[in-house]
Structure 1
Amino acid sequence: EYITDVNCMYERLRELNQKLTHTGVEHLTGYISKLKTFTGEHSISDPLKTLADVCEGRRGKNPSRTLQYNSQLPLTSFIDIIQPESETAVYLQSLIVYVPFNNIVKHILTETFTEWTNNHAKLQMTLFYNRSLSDVLATLSENLSQVGNIGSKIMTSLHREQEITTEQVWRYTDKLNKMEHEVFEVRLSAVAVIRKLLEEIEVDKTD
């Protein structure tokens, strides 16, 4: 079955993860359970999951970190809960190559970037966000909104068949680079999706 919109995309990802779970791979169910424990709620708000799905944990991968990790150290922060690789970001990057000639893919990306742009405002309205008062969550959420906004601007230019100049690409890339690793031990993998889109545009311009 072909992917037709962003909801269909997420449904396909859910189906894939369910199949993996049935084979004994429980990374998704464990991830969801940890998110619920982290929030202290029975269900996870869509804005929080949207943010978590495009973040990657980098716990312990910085050699300059002085804290020693062992079995006695509790792992209960947002950094410890998010996945080491964002399946959503990987999947979206795989679609980028089809942007020049596939309107359905353009539609999926446009919807996704709009969702990211609006996600911070939605997350701010959740009880969990207002209880947590987390600088990590606030920074990541604000940055995801900015990443989504950049993506939306790019897609608008593509829809209008307006050229995206090299200067614009540089400016966008500079902003993206600053946001990707702004939070210690977290990679905002949504950045990689926009970066891949910019790379595809640059390649298309040289053809």
Structure 2
Amino acid sequence: EYITDVNCMYERLRELNQKLTHTGVEHLTGYISKLKTFTGEHWISDPLKTLVDVCEGRGMGSRNREKKYNSQVPLTSFTDIIQPESETAVYLQSLIVYVPFNNTVKHILTETFTKWTNNHAKLQMTLFYNRSLSDALSTLSENLSKVGNIGIEIMASLHREQEVNKGQIGQYTAKLNQMEHQVLEIRLSAVGVVRKLLEEIEI
């Protein structure tokens, strides 16, 4: 079970990543430096990091279909900077199996969804002064806020011990599907967290 369980695999990866980071390897932390270069800023605001941490590049398959990349195109776009897999999303999804009976996990999820909901408003100043960011992130930021709001509604129902009916689950799922890949070449991995929550409720 330890070998084949997905959550165990990610736990082992987290431990290995921490050890590699301590040796100076920047395979995970390096994206912050790239993001600073992309934004032209010396520091990254918390709202910007919150958004970036739940975005994933969609990989070469998606890019090849766009027919706009070749060996002469520098890998310096926002898609090149973000992580191929969101550690934040993976961690939150690993917690969700404990939602029915763990108040600590419920608290973590509610706080996270609230943070996502409020993040777009907090990011507005950064987007206003940085046009390159605004073009790349505006839709992603708005969608993260909407995803967070769906998460809050679900958690509120769980807190009141009210059933989320199939009609509501269908509506939520349709909205999530629309937002997940709405921005070209980028997956909003926050969607996967709320979708996992819906799947656990439906079971």
Structure 1's 17 and 125: CA in aligned 2 closer, same or farther, altered over 3 A? Answer: farther
Distance in 1, matches of 2:108 and 2:130, equals 33
Structure 1 residue ranges without an equivalent (≥5) = 1-13
Partner of 1:179: 179
What is the one-letter code of the residue matched to 1:69? N
Partner of 1:158: 158
Q: Is the 8 A contact 2:39 2:130 kept in 1?
A: no
Partner of 2:68: 67
Partner of 2:130: 131
Distance in 1, matches of 2:190 and 2:128, equals 20
Structure 1's 86 and 166: CA in aligned 2 closer, same or farther, altered over 3 A? Answer: same
C-alpha deviation, 1:108, in angstroms: 0.1
Q: Is the 8 A contact 1:60 1:69 kept in 2?
A: no
What is the one-letter code of the residue matched to 1:78? F
Q: Secondary structure at the match of 1:27?
A: coil
Structure 2 residue ranges without an equivalent (≥5) = 1-13
Partner of 2:28: 28
C-alpha deviation, 1:19, in angstroms: 3.0
C-alpha deviation, 1:25, in angstroms: 3.5
Partner of 2:50: 50
Distance in 2, matches of 1:98 and 1:69, equals 45
* Identical columns (%): 76
Structure 1's 171 and 54: CA in aligned 2 closer, same or farther, altered over 3 A? Answer: same
Distance in 1, matches of 2:175 and 2:114, equals 18
The two structures have a TM-score, normalised by structure 1, of 0.85
Partner of 1:84: 84
The two structures have a TM-score, normalised by structure 2, of 0.87
C-alpha deviation, 1:22, in angstroms: 2.0
Partner of 1:202: 202
What is the one-letter code of the residue matched to 2:191? V
Count, aligned residues: 189
Q: Deviations over 1:74-127 (max 9, x none)?
A: 12221111000000000000000000000000000000000000000000022x
Q: Deviations over 1:8-67 (max 9, x none)?
A: xxxxxx998543312454212311110111111111000110000000012432242212
Structure 1's 181 and 35: CA in aligned 2 closer, same or farther, altered over 3 A? Answer: same
Distance in 1, matches of 2:188 and 2:38, equals 19
Distance in 1, matches of 2:140 and 2:128, equals 12
Distance in 1, matches of 2:170 and 2:136, equals 27
Partner of 1:106: 106
Q: Secondary structure at the match of 1:173?
A: helix
Q: Deviations over 1:112-165 (max 9, x none)?
A: 000000000000022x55322533300000000000000000001100111100
